[in-house]
Amino acid sequence: MIDKDNQDNRNNPDNEADTEYIEDRISRYLGVRNHEMIFAELSSDYLNRIGAADILLGVPVPLNAASGEDGLEAEAAAADIGTRDMDMRTILFDMARIVGGDPYFVYTDKYIEFISYAAGEQAEPMLVSEGARAADNGDYEDACMLLRAALRIEPKSRAALYLYGRACKACQELADEDEERAARYKAEAMETFELLTILHPEFAMGYYFLGYEYLNLGLYTKTKLTWQDFLKYSSGTELETSEMDDDMLSGLRDEISARLEELEEPVRIEEGCNRIMTGDYQGGKDILDGFREGRYGDWWPLWYYLGTAEVALGHSEAAEECFKRVLRLYPSNTDAMEELAAIYAIRGDEDSAAKYRNKIRIVREKID
């Protein structure tokens, strides 16, 4: 997300300060949707009539969607806006799309000021409602643009944050095989749900979706704690879940309760791995030893962490077997190869050490 106080000088044509540009994760995907927009200035007479000359005089506004005109005809529509059948709400929504698509657009502040002036206290709810409508129609990127504009007006809006997080999540799922696009939307969704739980800690649904974000990253302890908060805040003591009926909420609670039971072993494994990473090699090994057999026996990181612990504890042969197990499960794992090369080098078995160094070279050449 973009902090509205950290914008570069593209937002202010008169500012010549060399401020740092902070990249927005997803504007590269949203901004292209606005490339067909046509801009023209509204007439001074019209701006004076509506009391907005101090905001928009000399400022081009997006008119193509509202006027149905192209090219120079948009200028005529702008000069004639008071007598033409033009929808000011449509212009406001197009301004919001520009702002949401590129938060560094040169007239961002002017557009936000005018939207707030024209719609008053309904500016943020109006954009949230239109964003929700776009999402309901399956246009999640349009929803993202409108909701991002709403968050420029009210950065702490619970509804805008919640719907924006969900829209980003939907965009991630629709990214197909574009891994970078999916990763950017995923990061934006997770950060948004995290912010939602910080700003609105009693809103249960923030924890529901955030838990799945952590689960997909393999952060099992964080998933557990987050879903425990979901159960806590969805218990019916708050009216934060009034948008769903009792049966739907009960179903979500049952779903998460079952998920938490499934997390017991992954959480324990994560604890073992964390202990090894922090230097408690024996403690971590003792935990992970209990998972050598069973459904986690084919999970290569288990054996890698066990091998790391065995090396630190001076159990060279046990470590060797662990790292070989890693390679049976993940043949191109160069980290395990490096560990084996080091073990053989210490033993003085240079032939075996050279064999694994050569394998590392071959794998890395294929990657390059």
What are the tens digits of pLDDT across the range 9-29?
334 444 433 334 456 899 999
Q: Which residues contact 252 (CB under 8 A, 6 or more apart)?
A: 208, 230, 234, 244
Q: Is the dihedral of CA 80, 82, 87, 92 positive or negative?
A: positive
The pair of three-digit structure tokens given for residue 230, joined into one six-digit string: 């979901």
**Looking at residue 19, what DSSP letter applies?**
P
Q: Report the C-alpha gap between 124 and 226 in whole angstroms.
A: 28
State the amino acid at position 92 in one-letter form: L
What are the tens digits of pLDDT across the range 282-320?
999 999 999 999 899 999 999 999 999 999 999 999 999
Q: Taking the complete model, does pTM exceed 0.85, yes or no?
A: no
Residue 80: predicted pLDDT: 52
Rounded percentage of the chain residues whose pLDDT exceeds 70: 85
Helix (H, G, I), strand (E, B) or coil at 152: helix
Q: Which domains does the chain have, with CATH numbers?
A: 280-367 (1.25.40.10)
Average pLDDT of the chain is 87
Q: Is the pLDDT of residue 241 over 70?
A: no
Q: Report the C-alpha gap between 38 and 60 in whole angstroms.
A: 9
What are the tens digits of pLDDT across the range 258-275?
999 999 999 999 999 999
State the amino acid at position 224 in one-letter form: K
The pair of three-digit structure tokens given for residue 265, joined into one six-digit string: 């072993």
What are the tens digits of pLDDT across the range 127-163?
999 999 999 999 999 999 999 999 999 999 999 999 9
The pair of three-digit structure tokens given for residue 72, joined into one six-digit string: 């120079």
The pair of three-digit structure tokens given for residue 31, joined into one six-digit string: 């901004």
